[in-house]
Chain A
Amino acid sequence: MKKLAQRNYYGKALAKLAETREDVVVIDADLAGSTKTSEFRKVAPERFVEAGIAEQDMIGVAAGLAASGKTVFASTFAVFATGRCWEQIRLGCAYPKLNVKIVSTHCGISVGADGASHQALEDISIMRSLPNMTVISPADAYEAYAATLALADCKGPCYMRLGRADVPVLFDEDVGFEIGRARRMRSGSDVSLIGTGQMVSLCLDAADMLESEGISADVINMSTIKPLDGAAVMESVSKTGCAVTAEEHSVIGGLGSAVAELLSENMPAPVVRIGTRDTFGESGDPDQLFRKYGLTAEDIAAAARKSISMRE
């Protein structure tokens, strides 16, 4: 299966925006080579801002630039982009609804060997809780490219998380992106598998496994976590009656929480959440870590069986 890194396509999209959008400014905190904002710098160095290892200042500067009419992309690793400067994002960007797009790379446990200090497993949760904030987690590299262009076209504060590693390609190169709209990846009637980020690919693998057991899975790519496409969730669950959520993130406050909140208030149904269970990660190969922390396609399939059994 073809694999590509989301961050590389973020860089390509920024390079395109450098040519097409005079109002776009990119700011980074000493990680341009890793986040791939370096691709923008190559094309428009006069609109690239190096903030140094000073993420709180980076966000404040981004807010000031946005208040002056710029569309600002601010990037660094997910832990630092959200955790180090959460309150700067809250006051400077979210509260006044400024046009700052915080795009992080190196989200989740697939960061691997660097260990828990660098594995953001809480970023969706803490960003989702901010009023006015849009939260996006694309499923593959092409969707990351399209989502970057969509971010440039939307007004207001947004957060997008991207991975470091190469992940399976699920879409064609010309895939579009509509913020707030989920995509059905596969139709089924027995259980809804709702994934985000690279977990969508694993949901599809799980659906294959389940199919061999005669279980038909409805697979949804929830690439926008906020605003959640509630209609898509309810349409699927009204058919299946039970759901599994899958995210490379803590089960606390992320996609699983969002789906459970929606269903419990509107259409109570079993929801089994795949994600890290209130724990930090550790060093290791991504594959080893996915197995140890219960994030594999087998884990998703087992969760589907559990969700179905709770419905019955």
Chain B
Amino acid sequence: MPLSPAELKRKADLLRLHVIEMTTAAGSGHPGGSLSAADLMAVLYFRVMRHDPGNPAWEDRDRFVLSKGHVAPVLYAALAESGYFPTEELLTLRKLGSRLQGHPVRGKLPGVEMSTGSLGQGLSMSCGIALAGKMDGRDYNVYCLLGDGELQSGQNYEAMMFASAKGLDNLIAFVDRNRLQIEGDTEKVMPLDPLPDKWLAFGWDVFEVDGHNIEQIIGAIEEAKRSESPSVIIMNTVKGKGVSFMENQAGFHGRACKPEEYEQAVRELKEALE
């Protein structure tokens, strides 16, 4: 029985709570972009993706590639909540000897498909996985989450060209369009707009949704699956979503909460969960 939108919303807030707890325990990490992507992660891991936490190497599983590897906390939270490993392990994030490295590492933790963290590379990797699926006649889908700032990297456009040239209709990309990067407003650092036009020009089907609206995300994925081209879902999001003082703050791109901030963040997220 698939989770309802209301249940998925709750899952997303649970992932957010994990993100705050993990990054605070680590004393570092990237909470802002983790919170903006939480709704998508809940939709993918608890509704859309065909996967089996008991068999992470299942050849017909759908694949998820986290191109914006710095939001590893939200991926780890989704994997733990799915049952890939115990949720207690989440608090080892970024610690010596932990499987939960600062950025995801393939082979270290079940459920992590590719090593990422250096931006601009995940879409190419996703193309390779999608192409292998085509070669082998498998019907899995490949989902790739990109940051918006990372689309300033040229390799993405090589990959966009490749995906449409090879007819990779089993590839669905998401852009977490929270409009903030380390130095601030993406449009001031290096403008990305008009963003849909860029993807359209490379032959992709483009969908645009409110990235915090569960129904819209699900609906766009269903449409993207039917597309005969590679598809991108641009999700308009709020960086730091779900914690009032973190919302739209570029400063929380790469720093954890201080103790008093942590208290408030947890209070807000627990209220949302009640």
Contact = CB atoms under 8 A, between A and B. Distances in A.
A62 B117 CA distance: 18
Contacts, number: 105
A70 B136 CA distance: 10
B55 interface: no
A46 interface: yes
Given A60-B155, A64-B114, 8 more contacts: A46-B135, A64-B126, A64-B129, A64-B131, A69-B59, A69-B132, A70-B135, A92-B121
Contacts of A57: 124, 127, 155, 158-159, 161-162
Given A88-B155, A95-B115, A97-B107, A64 B132 contact: yes
B39 interface: no
A64 B130 contact: yes
A68 B129 contact: yes
A252 interface: no
Interface of A: 25, 46-47, 49, 51-52, 54, 56-57, 59-70, 87-88, 91-92, 95-98
Given A68-B132, A68-B133, A91-B116, A63 B158 contact: no
A188 B166 CA distance: 56
Contacts of B128: 60-68
B58 to A, nearest CB: 12
B52 to A, nearest CB: 17
A49 B118 CA distance: 25
B144 to A, nearest CB: 10
B95 interface: no
With a 10 A CB-CB cut-off, give which of B126, B132, B133, B166 has the most chain A CB atoms: B132
B125 interface: yes
**In the complex, which range does the number of interface residues on chain B fall in?**
20 to 34
B118 A87 contact: yes
Contacts of A95: 105-106, 115
A64 B130 CA distance: 8
B56 to A, nearest CB: 12
Nearest to A51: B162
Given A51-B162, A91-B117, A60 B131 contact: no
A54 B161 contact: yes
A70 B128 CA distance: 10
A49 B167 CA distance: 13
A289 to B, nearest CB: 33
B125 A60 contact: yes
A65 B162 CA distance: 14
A115 B216 CA distance: 55
With a 10 A CB-CB cut-off, give which of A54, A63, A67 has the most chain B CB atoms: A67
10 contacts: A54-B155, A56-B158, A57-B162, A60-B125, A60-B128, A62-B128, A65-B128, A70-B135, A88-B121, A96-B107
Contacts of B65: 64
B113 interface: yes
